[in-house]
Amino acid sequence: MIKVGIAGATGYTGQELVRILNMHSGVKLQSLLCQSQVGQQYSALFPSFLGEVDQLLQGMDQLEAASQSCDVLFLALPHGVSANLVNPDMLAQTKVIDLGADFRLKDPFQYDKWYESAHPAPHLLSKAVYGLPEYRRSEIKKAKLVANPGCYATATILALQPLVSSGLLDSNNIIVDAKSGVSGAGRALSLGVHYNECNENLKAYKVASHRHTPEIEQELSAIGGKDVTVSFTAHLVPMSRGILATTYAKVKAGVTEQDLIEVYESKFGDEPFVKVLGGESPETKWVRDSNNCHIAVNVDERTGNAIIISAIDNLIKGAAGQAVQNMNLICGINETAGLSKSSVLVH
């Protein structure tokens, strides 16, 4: 059994981790840690776990003890927190999967710029592996520290990875129009996600300044072998979960839709969680509560643009599910273990 600990177990992502790992036959939930509500029974806070996860929540002061007793430690914490907690001694005792942003960017100056604070542990950035299995599977298997990708970044990079690596991209003018459910903002109170603010409403936010932008550019540049620039705009839609990203990119003259479909099917044909759709555009309800990413490939012959549409559940493939996928890889077990391949139908 893989003994796991979860720091930040009471947040939306933490709850999803508990739910998935509780159903994982190869896992024992060893330690559940949080900032507040210490000493309370987990199932008393979240009754859906009654009779299944009844252990008491521990404080963050027990993180060191958890790192000594657990094989894998998940950090579902706000940015700027994990990097102050992870250290070489911890990495010598356990494997760490950080679901926050602290280890995603390789350049500490980029972190300073986009997160408006100095990186707490720049010496650890080179040790972290970016945890997108469909791109860095072999590196993840050997990692001690995994930087779980952001939700928007996951949907966008998966949508663009085959196009960028194929040599069929004609220009660097890539536009991403992405929309997310409210859970992407986290569980903390915020006026912008109050019911009266977001219901019956649609709005763009962090225009030209969204923090997933440098993460997307970093990974696509590494994939393509040259600098890639992305114009990324995020929107908040009045639903609880899900991401739909529509990406526009100029392709070389003469490239047809069938050419691109063949590239994408070749890349993702053996991937357990990425599905290239034929003739239909993805919908968020098709991937809800699953670790799947659905992708549709289109070419607008009039404009010469590829239009790639991707859909994921931001809390699963965009967070907890992908983290478990990474855990399976670093622990040397079946990559799909504990992860349902089917979505929960929503009518």
Closest CA relative to residue 141, chosen from 334, 337, 338 = 334
Closest CA relative to residue 268, chosen from 116, 128, 163 = 163
Which residues are catalytically annotated? 151
Distance CA 253, CA 244 (A): 27
Contact 222, 136 (CB under 8 A): no
Query: Is residue 235 packed enough to be buried (19+ CB in 10 Å), middle (13-18) or exposed (0-12)?
Result: middle
Contact 55, 86 (CB under 8 A): no
Q: How many beta carbons lie within 10 A of that of residue 221, not counting itself?
A: 15
Query: Is residue 190 packed enough to be buried (19+ CB in 10 Å), middle (13-18) or exposed (0-12)?
Result: exposed
For 236, residues 6+ apart whose C-beta sits below 8 A from its C-beta are 179, 180, 182, 184, 185, 192, 193, 198, 201, 202, 203, 205
Contact 126, 168 (CB under 8 A): no
Q: How many beta carbons lie within 10 A of that of residue 86, not counting itself?
A: 25
First to last CA, the chain: 37
